[in-house]
Amino acid sequence: MNHFKTVFLAGAMLVSSAVFAEGGGDRTFAHIEDLLRMQQASAMMLADIEKMPKKDQGPMMGEHMKMLGDVMDQLGKATPDSAMSDKDKMVWMQKHQAIVADVLSQMRREHAMMFSQSHNLN
């Protein structure tokens, strides 16, 4: 149930920031911050899954994969606002790149867990 609270909280943050953001650049930064929160929620879920007994990890990994898929879909659509200054665009791109790197790291960790399960390691 804790995972559902995390997902609900992330969803609420997404909606609230989208409603209250003003201006193109502000909306663009709000969107990247939303993606950061989504990535953090998926990272927390993965940490919880890693602590679970292997026999209980499967269904939660499916939910985690869906979360990562949603983050990756949003990352693929995200672009900096054309009205942003070069400095703001650089900050935006650094945040975007950091989220992508963490999502890929989560995918590797998840893959290692699935590999371990399928080969009965540890």
| Residue 32 token pair | 């990247």
pLDDT tens for 30-80 read: 889 999 999 999 999 999 999 999 888 888 999 999 999 999 999 999 999
Ordered by where they begin, the domains of the chain are 2-118 (1.20.58)
Cα–Cα distance between 37 and 16 in angstroms, integer? Answer: 12
DSSP alpha helix (H) spans, 2-84: 2-20, 24-51, 54-77
pTM over 0.85: no
In order of 1, 34, 78, 86, 91, the CA distances from 30 in angstroms are 28, 6, 11, 17, 13
Position 116 confidence tier, pLDDT thresholds 50, 70, 90: confident
